[in-house]
Amino acid sequence: MKILLIEDEKELAESIVHYLNGSDYRCEVAFDFNSASEKIALYQYDCVLLDISLPGGNGLALLRELKGKNKKEGVIIISAKNSLDDKIEGLEIGADDYLPKPFHLAELGARIKALIRRNNFDGSNILPIGDLILDIENKSVKVFDQKVELTKSEFELLMFLISNKNKVISKDAIGEHLSGDDADRFSDFDFICSRIKNLKKKLAESGSSDYIKTVYGLGYKFEI
Amino acid sequence: MRLLNRTILSYLIYSVLVFLIVTPIFYSVISRIFIKEVDETLLLKKNEIQFRTQRIKSEDDLRVWENLDEDIRIEPLTGGLIYDSIYYTSRYDSLSKEIEPYRVLSTVIEIENKSYHLTIFISLLESKDLVRVLSITQAVVLFVLLVGLLFINWRLSKTIWKPFYHTLDELKKFDVEKTGQLRLGEAKVREFKDLNEALKLLSERSYRAFINQKEFTENAAHEMQTPLAVFKSKLELLMQTNPTEEQAKLMESLNESTSRLARLNRALLLLSKIDNRQFIEAESVDVTKLTEKIVDQNQHELAAKGLTIQVDRKSDLIVKFNATLIEVMLSNLISNALRYSTEKGLVKIEIADLQWGISNHGSPLSFPSEKIFERFQKGNTQVSSTGLGLAIVKKIVDTNGSTIHYQYKEQLHSFHVRF
């Protein structure tokens, strides 16, 4: 899977590339408007991560370029501007998602996964992983052909972990993913502990291997 | 007391005083002058009589003359010496049949080398009338003058102060957040012109300061986002490096702080956006549905703290509001109630006609209750709070023109929004 990251902040770009390259992706970076425009014209990507404010031009113009060429790339806008107008305009032009900075890399990982999945598996929403078979459409999980009864939020939690498999994900990232990122949410993420415990218990009862590891008090990891 | 009334009152008091003091003084002065005049006439008359009596040859002539002139009495001098004296007396007037006041000169004259006692009378009746008429005329003139002055002053004050009252009205309406700069009319009077100029300058300055502060908050929050994003991402990469337990603990606390910083930043941005009126479009919002949605989103937290939420719906509530803002507002109020509720407590939401209320049991505030909507005012036990949630709520409520009230009674914190 090829990803193009258009981001002028070098340090952040480096982090994102580092994080994503560890997964199933190959990530390229464009630091400014012109090189991004060139890359878009020359190559085909599965997903484009687009910053709005760029040296040499506005990211929304690049988005128009992409959509004008009728390319199939999924686009996620990652913007520090966090302005509603940008979000609305971006989504209107044809961006698939909008992620305001600062974000958790795990959240970005999950969004990319979801986007690529939507674009590539036309209609097929079945995701096999280890002993598990996930039906994304119906939000259900089967282990050895046996349905595991998960609540909606347990399923989302599992999806989030799987989207960032083999990565340590902090409780904060999970918490924000599950309860949204409103300005001043009641964000005591202690509930995640018990949620994970329940999930592990249900999966263990169904006979699945134990994929979810706890990393000290720091976070969790779906290891496979 | 209005300025206008105040000046008029002073004028009025002064006028009445002048009127009361001047009228009797005027009366007595005029009387005095008149009496002096009468006295001079008496003396003159005496000289005249002295001169005329040279023509009198006999005692009979004298009697005839005396009988013709009622105002003169000439009697042979009997008894001791008589000095010249002028005094008042009253005499019965046979014509008007009334006792009338007179001024009398009593003196001695020589006729044919014989001394006579001469008494000359001048009636004061006419003079009294004259003085009265004069005094009344004077009083009327004075009165008309004073009333006129007062009226002119009142009219003048009204027109003169008009620009001042206009300015005052504008000042009362002035709100740097809403109306921006002060709009004042043209004043012709120099003092008011100066006042308006000074006020305009002041409003401009406060407007600039307000804009600067607004821009600063927004810019600062914007600028902080990129380094925050970098920090957050590096920390997440660091987490992937198989940390030891000790390192993991450090990372965890770093993580918490970063998340808090990010939340704080988002809250500040939201505040400045509301200030910048970026959320103005209002639409019909079903508050009941929205409340239920937010409660549903908070299920994790509810379960973790063992709380129960009870939504008491007395009637449907559909309001005109910006959809984003009302969601943030209700979400913040609910989060706040959950955060400060006692463990395993009951959080009650009440939805009634144009009213939305929430209450939770909890310990009393550690600060005065009127400060509850101020920025960074938070209960000391909660470190994870940004301290901006209720400030945002207040701002949203104000933007919409609704009101919110807080009260603490019998260990129950409650907020009531009136749309």
- Token pair for B152: 């002119």
Kindly determine whether residue B392 and residue A219, on different chains, have CB atoms separated by under 8 Å. no
β-pairing verdict for A2-6 and A47-50? parallel
Mean pLDDT of B110-134: 82
Mean pLDDT of B273-280: 77
Instruction: Determine the pLDDT at residue A50.
Output: 92
B327 neighbourhood in chain A, CB within 8 Å: 182
CATH number for the region B191-274 comes to 1.10.287
Q: Would the pLDDT of A46 be above 60?
A: yes
Burial B34-45 (b: 16+ CB within 10 A, else e): bbeebeeebeeb
A86 neighbourhood in chain B, CB within 8 Å: none
Instruction: Give the C-alpha distances (Å, rounded to integers) separating B171 from A12, B180, B185, B199, B212.
Output: 50, 12, 12, 9, 22
Assess if CATH 3.30.450 describes domain B3-146: yes
Mean pLDDT of B173-189: 78
Contacts of B249 (CB under 8 A, 6+ apart): A216, A217, A218
Instruction: Give the C-alpha distances (Å, rounded to integers) separating B156 from A24, B22, B109, B146, B345.
Output: 88, 27, 67, 15, 69
Contacts of B208 (CB under 8 A, 6+ apart): none
pLDDT in tens, B9-40: 888 888 888 888 888 888 888 888 888 998 99
A81 neighbourhood in chain B, CB within 8 Å: 222
Contacts of A58 (CB under 8 A, 6+ apart): A33, A52
- Listed range (A83-87, A200-204, B152-156) with the worst mean pLDDT: A83-87
pLDDT in tens, B339-367: 888 888 899 999 988 899 999 998 888 88
Residue A221 touches chain B, beta carbons under 8 Å? no
Domain with CATH 1.10.287 in chain B: 191-274
Q: Would the pLDDT of B56 be above 90?
A: no
A218 neighbourhood in chain B, CB within 8 Å: 239, 243, 248-249, 251-252, 255
How close does chain A come to B317, measured CA to CA in Å? Answer: 23
Q: Would the pLDDT of B1 be above 70?
A: no
Q: Quick one: B279-418 is in which CATH superfamily? A: Histidine kinase-like ATPase, C-terminal domain (3.30.565.10)
Domain with CATH 3.30.565.10 in chain B: 279-418
**Chain B: residue nearest A106 by CA?**
B236
Residue A177 touches chain B, beta carbons under 8 Å? no
Measure the CA dihedral B201/B204/B206/B212, to 10°.
Answer: -140
Domain with CATH 3.40.50.2300 in chain A: 2-120
Taking each helix axis from N to C terminus, what angle separates B125-173 and B190-239, rounded to the nearest 10 degrees? 20
Q: Would the pLDDT of B72 be above 70?
A: yes
pLDDT in tens, B238-273: 999 988 989 988 998 898 888 888 888 888 888 888
Domain with CATH 1.10.10.10 in chain A: 126-222
pLDDT in tens, A167-223: 999 888 888 888 765 544 545 667 788 889 999 999 999 888 889 999 887 889 999
| Max intra-chain CA distance, chain B | 161
Q: What is the pLDDT of chain B when averaged over all its residues? A: 85
Q: Which residues pair with residue B416 across a beta bridge?
A: B357, B405
- Confidence tier at B127 by pLDDT (50, 70, 90): confident
User: Measured between CB atoms, which of A172, A176, A183 is closest to B267?
Assistant: A183
User: Do the beta carbons of residue A180 and residue B331 sit within 8 Å?
Assistant: no
- Listed range (A82-91, B47-56, B126-135) with the worst mean pLDDT: A82-91
- Listed range (A12-26, B15-29, B65-79, B392-406) with the worst mean pLDDT: B65-79
**Chain B: residue nearest A16 by CA?**
B233
Taking each helix axis from N to C terminus, what angle separates A191-205 and A152-163, rounded to the nearest 10 degrees? 90
| Percent of chain B clearing pLDDT 70 (strictly above) | 97
CATH class of the region A126-222: mainly alpha
A216 neighbourhood in chain B, CB within 8 Å: 243, 245, 248-249, 252
Other Cβ atoms less than 10 A from the Cβ of B97: the count is 7
Mean pLDDT of B275-285: 81
> Quick check: helix, strand or coil at residue B408?
strand
Q: Which residues pair with residue B414 across a beta bridge?
A: B359, B407
- Token pair for A26: 């190959």
Q: Would the pLDDT of A28 be above 50?
A: yes
Q: Would the pLDDT of A134 be above 60?
A: yes
- Confidence tier at A33 by pLDDT (50, 70, 90): very high
Instruction: Determine the pLDDT at residue A183.
Output: 42
Assess if CATH 4.10.320.10 describes domain A2-120: no
Residue B189, amino acid? V
pLDDT in tens, B395-414: 899 888 899 999 998 889 99
User: Do the beta carbons of residue A89 and residue A60 sit within 8 Å?
Assistant: yes
User: Do the beta carbons of residue B163 and residue B188 sit within 8 Å?
Assistant: yes
Instruction: Determine the pLDDT at residue A216.
Output: 83
Mean pLDDT of B153-175: 84
Residue A55 touches chain B, beta carbons under 8 Å? no
Quote the ipTM score.
0.85
pLDDT in tens, B79-109: 767 778 888 888 887 777 888 888 899 888 8
Other Cβ atoms less than 10 A from the Cβ of A179: the count is 21
Instruction: Determine the pLDDT at residue B356.
Output: 93
Q: What is the pLDDT of chain A when averaged over all its residues? A: 85
Mean pLDDT of B281-301: 86
Strands (E) across B70-195 are located at 72-76, 85-93, 98-111, 114-123
